């Protein structure tokens, strides 16, 4: 059986990934924040110790929106720690096993905000941009050992994380979509499934999945 780990497994995308990878040859694990705090280095090491991981999807994330001048240091640190630091820690934890086997795939969930930071999301945009650099660094460094690393920019998804977004803000975001529609978590999960199984020689890439102009 192939082993999949999805961080942030309690979120909308995490649940969609569980459905997309349900059944043989996959044995997925999707720990929620309560089961795996990605900002806790000891917890991350303990969770991955001795665990085979063929595909890691780093989907844990959060936002703390507000004007940069009024964003507290603790809020900034929390957003960076979860969205960037947690992803890096989990990737670092699975790399030794992948290197030993000569295969593995890491997928970081980045964001359109990495290229076009929305108002009030400086920390979130910074963290998601960092994941793009991490993607290319890991892909270049470990590709010769059979490790693939890619980043997904899924677009605005209807998930618990986006539930607080106002109707006016949703309308403004939607106006920038050429097709006039948002993606669904199921569609994004399906793309990740396709990427893993059908594009075995693709690595170091950023995949923007909505219909806004790509950078």
Is there a domain that residue 214 lies in? Answer: no
Is there a domain that residue 200 lies in? Answer: yes
Least confident of 22-26, 64-68, 71-75, 90-94: 64-68
Over the chain, what is the mean pLDDT? 95
Is there a domain that residue 36 lies in? Answer: yes
Is there a domain that residue 53 lies in? Answer: yes
CATH code (residue 144): 3.40.50.720
Is there a domain that residue 39 lies in? Answer: yes
Give tens-digit pLDDT for 198-210: 999 999 999 999 9
Angle separating helix axes 12-20 and 185-198, nearest 10 degrees: 50
The pLDDT of residue 200 is 98
The pLDDT of residue 92 is 98
The pLDDT of residue 26 is 98
Give the C-alpha separation, 164 to 112, whole Å: 18
pLDDT(171) > 90: no
Give the C-alpha separation, 215 to 213, whole Å: 7
pLDDT(85) > 80: yes
Is there a domain that residue 186 lies in? Answer: yes
Residue 9 pLDDT level (bands cut at 50, 70, 90): very high
pLDDT(168) > 90: no
Is there a domain that residue 213 lies in? Answer: no
Range of the domain at 42: 2-208
pLDDT(152) > 90: yes
pLDDT(161) > 80: no
Is there a domain that residue 19 lies in? Answer: yes
Q: Where are the alpha helices (DSSP H) in the chain?
A: 12-20, 41-48, 73-80, 86-101, 122-142, 167-175, 185-198
- Of the candidates 76, 124, 138, 156, the residue annotated as catalytic is 124
The domain tally of the chain equals 1
Active site residue 194: no
Give tens-digit pLDDT for 40-55: 999 999 999 999 999 9
């Amino acid at each position: 059986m192939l082993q999949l780990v999805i961080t942030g497994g309690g979120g909308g995308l995490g649940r969609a990934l569980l459905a997309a990878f349900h059944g043989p040859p996959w044995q997925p694990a999707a720990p929620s924040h309560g089961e795996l705090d990605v900002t806790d280095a000891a917890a991350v090491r303990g969770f991955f110790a001795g665990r085979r991981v063929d595909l890691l999807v780093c989907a844990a994330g959060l936002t703390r929106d507000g004007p940069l001048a009024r964003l507290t240091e603790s809020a900034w640190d929390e957003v960076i720690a979860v969205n960037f630091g947690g992803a890096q820690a989990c990737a670092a934890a699975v790399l030794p096993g992948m290197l030993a086997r000569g295969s593995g795939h890491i997928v970081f969930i980045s964001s359109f905000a990495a290229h076009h930071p929305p108002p009030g999301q400086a920390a979130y945009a910074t963290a998601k941009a960092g994941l793009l650099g991490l993607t290319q660094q890991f892909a270049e460094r470990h590709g010769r050992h059979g490790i693939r690393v890619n980043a997904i920019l899924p677009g605005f998804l209807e998930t618990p994380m986006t539930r607080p977004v106002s109707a006016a803000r949703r309308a403004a975001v939607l106006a920038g979509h050429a097709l006039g529609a948002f993606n669904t978590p199921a569609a994004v999960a399906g793309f990740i499934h396709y990427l893993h199984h059908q594009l075995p020689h693709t690595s170091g890439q950023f995949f923007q999945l909505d219909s806004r102009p790509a950078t």
